[in-house]
Amino acid sequence: MPRQPRRTPPKEADLPPEKTQAALKKQLSTLDRLRGRNYRDAEHEETEWVNLTLNILTRGFGEASNNVSQFHTAEGGGGFYFGERSEGEKQRDFDDRINRFTAVLKSSLAELELLLPESHIAGAYESGDEYRFYRDLKTIVAFAAAELFITDNYLDTQLFDVYMENVASSVSVRVMTETVSTTLRLVADKFAKRGSFELRSSKHSHDRVVFADDRCWVIGQSIKDAAKKKPTYIVEMDVAVAMKGIYESIWASGTLVVRS
């Protein structure tokens, strides 16, 4: 009796939730650039997007996960068709497919929010514990799905060079600081080309605060020097709405420096 071929076991997840979340946010942002396009013009970009997104979902959730299965369903669309389809029908298929892909990514991102451990987003840091501070703050910044608002009186270009890498272009970003150096303005001008960005200066703020959507964290030291020579902390505040109201008032009276 012929030997049955051995089945290859499905690939297990091997990408941490933080990296999966950041990667999927980028893919969601890229997908928005396909929306409304002619399906023929976007065909090559869609194929590249599908291949990369499937790889991210497979590595983030596992090949046998519902996330991957739902993605395949979204890609397949409305079923089987017989005969030649019109250009209008093919365009509608493309538009529907983009909407289905969006729904799969949004549900996967919501699931990842539950997987991210709280210990990764707040903590106390000893002198010299710069890497752990960097890791935690970058995770917080990546939480923003719609809006990111950062205020720190002593910012330098490190904010953009190190922490903003995984912020999707669909996220509205606002930054407030006291003094804007020539170098900081130059980098902010370049960052502004991503869209939906504004930098203001104000002398009426003191604390270092990060707002990511409806959450809020306070930082003990300025981001550029945090945990270098002195201990510091990141604490999530339960009064995010009240804190946001205070800093919105300061923002409103600030001086515009850079805007997309």
Distance of CA 256 to the CA centre of its chain: 25
Binning pLDDT at 50, 70 and 90, where does residue 76 land?
confident
- Give the three-class secondary structure for 166: coil
Domain 118-259 has CATH 3.40.630.30: no
* Burial tier of 218 (Cβ tally within 10 Å: 0-12, 13-18, 19+): middle
Residue-level pLDDT at 251: 95
Residues 6+ apart with CB under 8 A from 12: 62, 63
Whether the per-residue pLDDT at 74 is higher than 90: the answer is yes
Q: How confident is the model at residue 79 (pLDDT cuts 50, 70, 90)?
A: low
Give me the residue spans of the domains in the chain.
17-115, 118-259
Q: Report the residue count for the chain.
A: 260
Mean pLDDT of 29-58: 94
C-alpha–C-alpha distance, residues 45 and 59, integer Å: 21
pLDDT in tens, 98-153: 999 999 999 999 888 777 655 445 588 899 899 989 988 988 888 888 899 999 99
Q: Which of 69-73, 78-82, 129-133 has the highest mean pLDDT?
A: 69-73
Residue-wise pLDDT for 156-199, tens only, equals: 999 998 898 778 888 999 999 998 999 999 999 999 998 899 99
